[in-house]
Amino acid sequence: MFIGRIVGWSMIAVALLMASGEAVMALGTGSYHGLATSDVWALLWGQTPQVEQTSSAGSMWLLIVTVFMAMPAWAVVGPVGVILAHVCRRRPPRGRLFLSA
């Protein structure tokens, strides 16, 4: 759980850095198209994810992957980091349900 918290908070920090970098570049004088999730995916794994459309479920996954890959990278990495940090958070131990006398 400790590693999950570290990874989650790291993803949040990276998302904040990406968002602030995009804000600075957007306020610049030149044209800037933003860093899409597909660009980050291609940099990390060498190719974009391939989804086969063999059934209606395949077409649904193709639509979901296409939408997520077109989103800005910080808009995907940030919520994933928040979810991971929340799921792996430290919780107080629970008391016993039945107390015997």
pLDDT for the residue 86: 94
13 and 25 assigned to the same domain: yes
Determine, yes or no, domain membership for 95.
Answer: no
5 and 22 assigned to the same domain: yes
Domain that holds residue 62: 36-71
62 and 14 assigned to the same domain: no
What is the value of pTM for the model shown?
0.76
Q: Tell me: the pLDDT tens digits for 11-52? A: 999 999 999 988 888 888 888 788 888 888 888 888 887 777
65 and 82 assigned to the same domain: no
3 and 24 assigned to the same domain: yes
pLDDT for the residue 94: 75
Question: What does the block give as tokens for 82?
Answer: 């928040």
Rounded Cα–Cα distance for residues 86 and 13 (Å): 15
Burial of 11 (0-12, 13-18, 19+ CB in 10 A): buried
Domain count, the chain: 2
2 and 24 assigned to the same domain: yes
